[in-house]
Structure 1
Amino acid sequence: MKRIKRRIRKNIKLITAICLLFQIIEVRAQQADNQIYVSTTGDDANQGTIQNPKKNLAAALDFAKNNRYNSTIILREGYYEIKKTIRLENFKQPNNQILTIKGYKNENVILSGGKKLRTEDFKKITAKDGNYYTLPEEARDHVYVFNLGSDLINQIGSISDRGFGHTQKPVQMELFFNDEPLQLSRWPNDRKLKIAEVINPEKVEFTANKNKDRVIKYSEKKRAWKNKKDIWISGYLNQGWADEYISIDSLNETQQTVYLSSIPTYGIIASDGGPGKWDNDIDKKAIRGFYFSNVLDELDQPGEYYISKAEGKIYVWPTSDISTASIEVSIIEQPLMVLNKTTIVSLSNIAFKCSKSALLQLNNTNNVKLENCKFSNSGLYAIKLANTSKTLIKNCDFKNIGATGLIFEGGDRKNLVPSMNNVTYCTFENLSRLFRSYNPAIRLDGVGVSINNCIIKDLPGQAITYQGNNHLIENNYFKNLCKEFSDIGALYTGRDLSSTGTIILNNVFEDITSDNPYRIAAVYMDDGAGGITIKNNLFVNCGTKSSNGFGAVHINGGSNNSILNNIFIDCSKIITGGPWSSSHWNSYLKQEETVAKIKTKVDITSEVYKKSYPYLEEITNSNLSSPRKNYFQSNITYQTDTTNNNRSNLFTNLVLLNQKPTLVYKNGMIKTITLNVRAIADKSKNSYINLNNLKQLN
């Protein structure tokens, strides 16, 4: 019997030793391949194996920094709360080894700067709540209340002025319901109040300081509000391209006047016009107006909410059954992740979301790849890339971003060295939610960025604004843009003669227009911008038909722009605007801002610029006798005004169709276009057009 027991103990020890050996072999094998696993149920003290993962991405990155070989950090499915920015600094593995950070297979990996709230903690408001009777009567049976508690009440943050010309700061805590941002309660709900009058403050009794152009009389009476704390106005107070979001100091409901806490960027002009030269343009008169925001008394429809700082409560009217909803608030006020001075890194299959600030920032990086990632629900931009090169952003989705989607800066402008940054097969939808003016889907600067095969749609303003040189915007779909502004274009550049050489090729522009008398173009070269090539694009229902509306393409002052082999269908006009007069040009060339851009920031008289852009030497010649020109060649039109109002726009080989081309749609977008050769009104010009190159798009 004793002998049997000794054998059993001996066998147990042997089995234990074998198991331990296998574990060691597994760890060493995994470390040889440098796979580091992370899980929400892990522990940072673990080795990082699939059975014993680490808990936080930051810990896995620290572990990877000490490796001499390719490292792969694999995130298992889960919701990772990011309470502090994850930083990867000065990272470069020897022998050009790659660091990979990815989600595991098809699992749903979320890096969130927010916090999920328990639905059971949302309670129907009752008469015992001090704000019950502040709410509109029709809302009292629908509004829920959430007590933030001591931890979250300190995370609310604050609202700040925003809009054109304002510094972007982290926003106040936002509420997201089933991954969609809700709206601060407002009045009116879906339109603007007209600015009936701008009143000199001395004529109105207010306790606040009296300064000019801060008192507005609004156009409609409203019911009296019980809670008048921390109310803001949002709207267009003068120019059609500049929105404002400004707090109010006081409100006189009897006189229908509001006193602003600060002076707007461009001042205030009444909706019906003002004394200035440009104050009475029809587009500006149509766009001016505002609404009140962050008003508890106006929480009157599904999808609205209000945060009471004094009470530490959220009041919300849900859009659907709250018991089954996913509810989240934004917490972090910095980017979720920052890569600085880092080389050869790949991030894939990860969702970045929910921040009062940005989601991701790349500084001084090289060879960074972002693939199959999702970016959503930020207060500011999604990704900022500063001084980056060879960045690839592929198959990524951008949605519900507070400001700009992507901000690019890379390459050497003085020597025209390209950044080789590339964005491809990405989608952009519902961006610039909070910072609306000049916050496009993509903002380009530097040299040699390529944007291709992307879908950009449903934005209040621009799709792409670009400065710098030699960008390529190719094979993209732009739809339903610029609805909210005037004097704007879906693709926009301006105010820098040295920013040139960009090519806009094989894109589709659809529904870049407005029923309002706004000035909207699909492609807009502003304030002297030139040297842009617009080739082989399809424009459908672009431009605006008002008396001062823009064409599908609008040029304000610039020259040497080439518009070649495009198709225009049901557009207001092909082109509006053109080069400035010689006297205007000469005045522009002497401006301090212009000189700084063409002589200091870069030098357009340098050999590299003269070789790349020989036309710059000619157009900056103040003694130039012949007019500066733009070139329109071999374009095809249907039901589009071809009037040329500027003789310096040279039209050649224009083909007019008398039968509409056949457009075939799939999933709401044009997939193919077929032209009927027999429908050409002037067949003698057919020989100048290669129709075979125009039959198929996408």
Structure 2
Amino acid sequence: MEYKAFIIFLIIANHLFAKDIFVSPIGNDKGNGTQENPYATFYKALAEVNKLAGKEAVTVWFKEGTYYLDRTIQIGSDYSGTSNKPVVFSALPGAKVVIKGSKRLENLHWNQYKDGIYVTQLPSALEFDQLFIDDERQIRARFPNYDYDNPLRGGKGYQQVTGGTDRRYDEWFSYNPKTFSNKIWNNPKTGIVHAYQSHNWGNMQYRIATVNREENKVYLDEGGWQLQRNFGVGGKGSKGSWYFIENIFEELDVPGEWFLDKESNLLYYYPATGVSLREAKVEVPVIKDFIQLKGSKESPVKNIQFKGFYFTQSSYTFMEEYEPVARGDWAIHRGGVIFMEGTEDCLVEGCSFEYIGGNGVFMSAYNRNNKVSGCRFVHTGESAVCFVGSPSAVRFYQTWDDKEIDGKDWNEMRKNMDLKPGPKTSDYPKECVVENSIMHDFGDVGKQVAGVYISMSHKIKASHNTIYNCPRAGICINDGTWGGHIIEFNDIWETARETGEHGPFNSWGRERQWKGSRGSDEHFLKELTKLDAIDNVIIRNNRIANYRKSISAGNWTIDLDDGSSYFEIYNNLNLGSTIKLRDGMARKVFNNITVSAVPLGWHVWPKESEDEIYKNIFVISGIIPGKKQPTKRFIRDVRLPVETKWSTNYDNNLYWNINHPNDFDVLENVNMEAWQKRGYDLNAVVGNPNFVDPINGNYQVKEDSPALKLGFKNFPMDKFGHQMTRIVPFGGEFSEEKTVSLVADNRASTGAKIYFTLDGSEPNTHSLEYSKPFQITSTTLLKAKTFNSNGIPVGFTTEAKFKKVTTVSYPSWLSTLLAGKYEGANEKKSVKALEKEVHGALMINIADDPDLIDATGGYDFGCYIKSIDAKKAKMWLNAGLKSDWVIQQINKHKIQNIADLEKYLKKYQGQKVTVIAVRDYNSKKFKVHIDK
């Protein structure tokens, strides 16, 4: 009764100020849209809105139930509201309103086919790429079969190629005939290959042209546009690209799989256990974008709001048009369940996006003052929220495809380059916000994805978002146009799970100042930096962590890659990895905490970079995954200036190496005394920072901490991530018991209550009521939800899994921190990347050094020239080879490592050979006369 009374009060109150339109799944579009006689469809309600928009405030109330869309909803500027008279589309308070981009298939006549498979006839011309049975997405017939225990790259659901063209656009790859499917594919052209790029920066999809069983090759048709860079499908052994193939009829062989025969309009399905086809709800997606708001900067769509909807079941987009985006590594599809272009002051609030085929919310080109707030994104095919401007707004626009695919010369393109500062047009997102949202387990199909993706935008704010369990970035800033972004109070962990050489937060800045990723005056034109990076980017008050026991190479917590300039990085808690600054200008890193076995990554800074590193707490703890010895040094520097100081404000930092408290190095073979003699950290302190309670996540320092005397200031440890209903801690392992606290949604009014369950069921007002922290003593799936004083739910259900184990196993950095000393075995020396002098040049096997791979542009094979002896290395120097080049080929022979190099130098002794080497994304031929 209280609920109904509240709804009636709400409706009466709204009628005093606005026009109310009602929609119900059991309504009738011939009705009048009142509460008693509601419309049935979104489309009819929208037509009525068009008559009223801008004249009075309009609210379209959706009653509980499911609404199917069979075409995209198009909203132009003629539907705009005003600041005082907005147009609102909203679920009724407490109602679950589901918007599906699918069609329910009814009156199906299933017949047994064979081997547990059933078949049914479908209407003609019905095409779809997903099948949902009782709201669960099924698996399209594939090889290898889906690995439910570990669906990630590396699980049993993937194989590795044995070779390939390794260049986009790929023509073929080879497979291992001993492990490849032995089923004969009568029509392989239906198949789609999902394959990771050889450098593992993302994945691509290709249609199959044919399969040659004699050559053990899969030949590829269209596809490969889903990312940038020229690297494709290839590699051998442990370096081979991971792949699977779907949509092959003969691979329909396990429960839960399906296949659509488009020619005969037959749907084949192998029912999962417990599924009754006679009673099952069968749905197939039929549209990609649900709602498109399309205006222009001259006539924008304004003041339209969407509240409280559950969006699900949209078609995949991975075979649609993608475009390379500036000189970041990514390509994107301009589409989303909610797509905005030419909009102002629009709001998406309290909406859930689950099991959708592409992006969640996409703001393209001109957008101003829009907001995504209190939303949830899970199991999206691509990214959660994207802000992407138009290339036409960029004064000098280049992509990797220009150079590596189309063969254009970047330097030639720079001739007569526009040197005016700032954007060329206003066709980009500005002053838009994504806040207080949850993004997890996204990137089901595309792996080069982010929770928040920003490109060609200005002053975007990402605040209080919780982002975890994703294949690549939590937050990615693709380019240096035009800065001013604020990244704050986010909680990010378990990212880059299926890709490498990337950080939970990642940025690039390859704009007009950037010529070649070396930081030298030749490659980095400092005087041009502010042309594009017109405002500083602020990264503050975030918790960014790597809790898993192994992380990919280059998985920095804050990864400022090529050219990223004018950043202020402060009050960030970095756990399990550290900060990287590559070539760029004027980065201020202060008042941060890093606790990790990974040293700081300072790579190829320009001379007089204006970078500042001060008043931070740097803790080295434990062992880097895959190594045998605990980390000793604090900084892994790569080709930093030697003519000038790295920074004029590198001071007042606190250093504590738990592994080597008394004999640590700051740099390799450079102790603190030698470091200070170079003019750095003259006022630094070495010692325990005295964290308050790290096991429970409080890394504030105690009152007696030496860090406070250096000017370090404590920052809040309880404001990270979303501020909706929270479970603290957010799941995990425990051995005896675990104390759990619940925090109410901060949007709830006075009198709100939290109800929770311990058996995985959905909480309601009859569930357990939270009053104080409680103990969990067994493996538990805990769910909690906030309800306001009227018993109406506020926000989403939050769930966390707690697993009881005999002994809790922590990553090395955390176990060492908690013990206060390194306790792991170190009797074996770590395997260091091989260094060897070859004809006067000191070479390194680059494949064995992840930091060098990251610092040199992603080259993962060959011999890196660390240094050259001017007297002994005449043959290299006479050919023009210098340090920092990576030798990858002699004549037609691939040089994988130093052993290969020595082999072919010996073979061609006394002869002149052609050496191919790479550096800074450039390849060059050198004529070398090999000494006898």
With the length of structure 1 as denominator, give the TM-score of the two structures.
0.72
Contact preservation (8 Å) 1:287, 1:485: no
CA distances 1:566-606 after superposition (whole Å, capped 9, x unpaired): 111224122242425xxxxxxxxxxxxxxxxxxxxxxxxxx
- Which among 178, 185, 193 is matched to residue 227 of structure 1? 185
Write the letter of the residue equivalent to 1:36: I
* Residue number in structure 1 paired with 2:200: 240
1:354 and 2:313 are equivalent in the alignment: yes
CA distances 1:271-301 after superposition (whole Å, capped 9, x unpaired): 249xxxxxxxxxxx63633232323333444
The DSSP-based 3-state class of the residue aligned with 1:488 is coil
* Residue number in structure 2 paired with 1:453: 464
- Offset, 1:65: 2.6
- Which among 214, 221, 233 is matched to residue 261 of structure 1? 221
* Residue number in structure 2 paired with 1:616: none
* Residue number in structure 2 paired with 1:332: 287
Q: Distance in 1 between matches of 2:584 and 2:240?
A: 27
- Which among 599, 610, 614 is matched to residue 633 of structure 1? 614
* Residue number in structure 2 paired with 1:568: 594
Gapped regions of structure 1 (runs ≥ 5): 1-25, 133-139, 157-171, 201-210, 274-284, 543-551, 581-625
* Residue number in structure 2 paired with 1:54: 39
Contact preservation (8 Å) 2:161, 2:240: no
- Offset, 1:490: 2.1
Q: Distance in 2 between matches of 1:522 and 1:28?
A: 49
The DSSP-based 3-state class of the residue aligned with 1:388 is strand
- Offset, 1:366: 1.5
1:422 and 2:433 are equivalent in the alignment: yes
The DSSP-based 3-state class of the residue aligned with 1:59 is helix
1:343 and 2:278 are equivalent in the alignment: no
* Residue number in structure 2 paired with 1:271: 235
- Offset, 1:409: 4.4
CA distances 1:312-334 after superposition (whole Å, capped 9, x unpaired): 23334455522376542111244
CA spacing shift, 1:256–1:662, aligned 2, 3 Å: farther
Contact preservation (8 Å) 2:496, 2:552: no
1:394 and 2:367 are equivalent in the alignment: no
1:98 and 2:51 are equivalent in the alignment: no
Q: Distance in 1 between matches of 2:693 and 2:268?
A: 48
CA spacing shift, 1:28–1:477, aligned 2, 3 Å: closer
Contact preservation (8 Å) 2:557, 2:579: yes
Contact preservation (8 Å) 2:29, 2:39: yes
Write the letter of the residue equivalent to 2:94: N
CA spacing shift, 1:223–1:487, aligned 2, 3 Å: closer
Q: Distance in 2 between matches of 1:28 and 1:512?
A: 49
Q: Distance in 2 between matches of 1:630 and 1:260?
A: 47
- Which among 351, 359, 380 is matched to residue 373 of structure 1? 351
- Offset, 1:401: 1.4
Q: Distance in 2 between matches of 1:194 and 1:92?
A: 52
* Residue number in structure 1 paired with 2:783: none
CA spacing shift, 1:676–1:30, aligned 2, 3 Å: closer
Aligned pairs for 1:44-83 (under 5 A) are 44-67=29-52, 68-83=55-70
1:214 and 2:171 are equivalent in the alignment: yes
Write the letter of the residue equivalent to 1:414: P
CA spacing shift, 1:317–1:638, aligned 2, 3 Å: farther
Q: Distance in 1 between matches of 2:713 and 2:486?
A: 24
Provide the aligned C-alpha RMSD in A: 3.5
Contact preservation (8 Å) 1:432, 1:440: no
* Residue number in structure 1 paired with 2:122: 149
CA distances 1:450-490 after superposition (whole Å, capped 9, x unpaired): 11111111110112222431010100111111121122222
CA spacing shift, 1:269–1:249, aligned 2, 3 Å: closer
Contact preservation (8 Å) 2:173, 2:233: no
- Offset, 1:80: 1.1
Aligned residue pairs: how many? 558
- Offset, 1:183: 3.1
> What is the aligned-residue identity percentage?
18
CA spacing shift, 1:298–1:654, aligned 2, 3 Å: farther
Write the letter of the residue equivalent to 1:194: Q
Contact preservation (8 Å) 2:599, 2:620: no
Contact preservation (8 Å) 1:240, 1:287: no
* Residue number in structure 2 paired with 1:194: 160
Contact preservation (8 Å) 1:113, 1:336: no
CA distances 1:488-522 after superposition (whole Å, capped 9, x unpaired): 22222211242351111111111277836633222
* Residue number in structure 1 paired with 2:544: 509
The DSSP-based 3-state class of the residue aligned with 2:159 is coil
* Residue number in structure 1 paired with 2:494: 480
CA distances 1:201-220 after superposition (whole Å, capped 9, x unpaired): xxxxxxxxxx9963432135
Contact preservation (8 Å) 1:48, 1:60: yes
Contact preservation (8 Å) 1:336, 1:355: no
Write the letter of the residue equivalent to 2:160: K
Write the letter of the residue equivalent to 1:328: E
1:687 and 2:692 are equivalent in the alignment: no
CA distances 1:32-60 after superposition (whole Å, capped 9, x unpaired): 74111111222223221111112222222
CA spacing shift, 1:234–1:228, aligned 2, 3 Å: farther
Contact preservation (8 Å) 2:210, 2:219: yes
Worse overlay, 38-47 or 447-456:
38-47
Write the letter of the residue equivalent to 1:570: S
Worse overlay, 100-109 or 60-69:
60-69
CA spacing shift, 1:293–1:102, aligned 2, 3 Å: same
- Which among 569, 585, 610 is matched to residue 534 of structure 1? 569
CA spacing shift, 1:502–1:94, aligned 2, 3 Å: closer
* Residue number in structure 2 paired with 1:554: 580
* Residue number in structure 1 paired with 2:274: 321
Write the letter of the residue equivalent to 2:488: E
Q: Distance in 1 between matches of 2:195 and 2:615?
A: 42
Q: Distance in 1 between matches of 2:556 and 2:361?
A: 27
CA spacing shift, 1:656–1:215, aligned 2, 3 Å: same
Contact preservation (8 Å) 1:514, 1:520: no
CA spacing shift, 1:28–1:250, aligned 2, 3 Å: closer
Write the letter of the residue equivalent to 1:404: S
CA distances 1:209-245 after superposition (whole Å, capped 9, x unpaired): xx99634321352342233422232222433214221
CA distances 1:524-560 after superposition (whole Å, capped 9, x unpaired): 2222121112211111113xxxxxxxxx222332232
- Which among 40, 43, 54 is matched to residue 25 of structure 2? 40
CA distances 1:103-131 after superposition (whole Å, capped 9, x unpaired): 1121111221102345x8484x74xx2xx
Q: Distance in 1 between matches of 2:142 and 2:549?
A: 24
The DSSP-based 3-state class of the residue aligned with 1:352 is strand
**Larger fraction in helix:** 1
* Residue number in structure 2 paired with 1:434: 445
Q: Distance in 2 between matches of 1:571 and 1:491?
A: 19
Q: Distance in 2 between matches of 1:566 and 1:416?
A: 37
Contact preservation (8 Å) 1:195, 1:217: yes
Q: Distance in 1 between matches of 2:169 and 2:307?
A: 53
Contact preservation (8 Å) 2:697, 2:717: no
Q: Distance in 2 between matches of 1:240 and 1:30?
A: 56
